[in-house]
């Protein structure tokens, strides 16, 4: 006589759960893109917080002779003002990353909320919001950023607001598109049947289910924000000298290339490239994991 056995139910066996967890952990660990992105972003955030404190020299004060090549004293050399390039490179995230993260978070919050409303309450309001977004996105981002900074003045707060203004439409569009899908789901109908108000349904039920695209976009936006900040400083519309900022460092050093002074622009160039790649990699990896989960 055989004892009939019920078919195994996935997740019921404690050993099986453990195995799943290990597999998942291995997957995270072996996701090179994710790990690389996370490490770079982690370093960038760490330097944004502590870069200036751990820099060997004050990044805004001449500390040595001008235009000294990399050496044991000045690891990345000095620039034409005698500023230590290494100290400036690791201090720059305080401006570049902080500015980009602030702008990305602000535009994420603002854009997500507006997108939620525009998606949930369709009609004139939604149409108006989308047309305004269309108009804003029709302008070249860089030119519009220059105009905004020129009008509002060159300081960090204005730069953050300018970037926020430019990136908000992206989040509006992403969130609205997701909300349009979510609002037709059965759980929304159920929530409505349970007597919830529209606003409550939107915020409590639809919003959490519509956040994924915005969260993925957030990391990409930080990368773009860093590039835009550096670009604005490169053309003289961003951060004021001698603040450590990668774009500004590259702009001031580019003319020295012809004299063979490569170190003043190479290192900030590598730093800005790596950071942008890091945020993009992290975003890409998260997106991939979300898609496969």
Partner 1 sequence: MKRKALVASAAVVALTIAGCSGGSSDGSSTDGGTPASNLTYLGLDVPAGLDPDGPSASIPATQMGIANLMEPLVYYKPGTENETGVGLLEYGYDIDKFDGRLAESVTFDEATLTWTFNLREGVTGCDDATFTADDVLYTFARAKSVSGAAPIGWFLSNVANIGGFTTDVFSEDPAVAAEAKELGDWITKTDDYTVVIKQDDANKLFLPVLTIFGLNIYDKEIMEANATPDDPWSHEYANNVNAPSFGPYCVSSWEKNSEMVLEANPDYYGGAPAVANVVWRKVPQSANRLASVSTGAAQLTDSLTPREFASVEGNDAVRAWRATGNLNTFLGMNFQSPPFDNPKVRQAFAYALNYDKIIQDGYFGRAVKWEGQIPMSYPGYSKQDPQFGYDVEKAKQLLAESGWTDDGSLKLTYVSESESTLGPIVTQIKADLAAIGVEIQLDPIPQTQFGDRALVKRDLPFFINDNEKPIGVDAGYATLLFFVSTAQGGLNNMVNYESDVVDGLWAEAKNEASVETRDGILAQVQRQLQEDVAWAPIVQYDNQWLSAPGLSGIVLHPDNSVHFSDLSLTN
Told to check if 70 binds partner 1 by CB under 8 A, we report no
Asked if 98 is part of the footprint of partner 1 (rule: CB under 8 A), the reply reads: no
Candidate segments 37-45, 184-192, 214-222, 238-246, binder of partner 1 by CB under 8 A: 238-246
> 242, 60 in Cβ contact below 8 A?
yes
81 lines the binding site for partner 1 (CB under 8 A):
yes
Cβ closer to partner 1: 137 or 256?
256
Identified binder of partner 1 from the candidate list 9, 143, 193, 259, rule CB under 8 A: 259
Task: Identify residues 147-206 at the interface with partner 1 (CB under 8 A).
Answer: none
> Is there binding between residue 66 and partner 1 (CB under 8 A)?
yes
Question: What's the closest the beta carbon of residue 258 comes to partner 1, in angstroms?
Answer: 4
Tell me which stretch binds partner 1 (CB under 8 A): 116-124, 172-180, 235-243, 285-293: 235-243
Residues in contact with partner 1, counted by CB under 8 A, come to a total of 22
Q: Where does this chain bind partner 1 (CB under 8 A)?
A: 60-62, 65-67, 80-83, 236, 240-242, 252, 255-260, 262
């Amino acid at each position: 006589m055989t004892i009939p056995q019920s078919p195994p139910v996935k997740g019921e066996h404690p050993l099986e759960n453990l195995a799943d967890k290990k597999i998942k952990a291995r997957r995270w660990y072996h996701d090179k893109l994710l790990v690389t992105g996370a490490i770079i972003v982690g370093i960038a955030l760490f330097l944004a917080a502590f870069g200036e404190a751990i820099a060997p020299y004050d990044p805004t004060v001449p500390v040595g002779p001008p235009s000294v090549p990399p050496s044991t004293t000045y690891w990345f050399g000095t620039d034409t003002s005698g500023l230590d390039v290494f100290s400036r490179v690791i201090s720059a995230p305080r401006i570049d990353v902080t500015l980009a993260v602030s702008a990305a978070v602000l535009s994420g919050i603002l854009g997500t909320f507006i997108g939620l409303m525009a998606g949930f309450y369709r009609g004139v309001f939604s149409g108006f919001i989308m047309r305004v977004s269309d108009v804003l996105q029709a302008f070249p981002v860089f030119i519009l950023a220059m105009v905004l900074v020129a009008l509002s003045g060159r300081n960090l707060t204005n730069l953050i607001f300018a970037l926020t203004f430019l990136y908000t439409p992206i989040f509006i569009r992403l969130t609205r598109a997701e909300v349009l899908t979510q609002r037709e789901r059965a759980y929304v109908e159920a929530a409505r049947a349970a007597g919830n108000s529209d606003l409550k349904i939107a915020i409590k039920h639809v919003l959490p289910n519509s956040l994924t695209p915005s969260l993925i976009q957030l990391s990409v936006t930080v990368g773009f924000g860093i590039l835009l900040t550096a670009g604005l400083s490169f053309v003289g519309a961003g951060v004021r000298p001698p603040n450590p900022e990668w774009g500004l460092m590259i702009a001031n050093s580019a003319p020295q290339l012809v004299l063979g002074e490569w170190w003043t622009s190479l290192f900030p160039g590598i730093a800005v490239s790596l950071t942008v790649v890091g945020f993009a990699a992290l975003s890409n990896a998260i997106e991939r994991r979300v898609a496969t989960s």
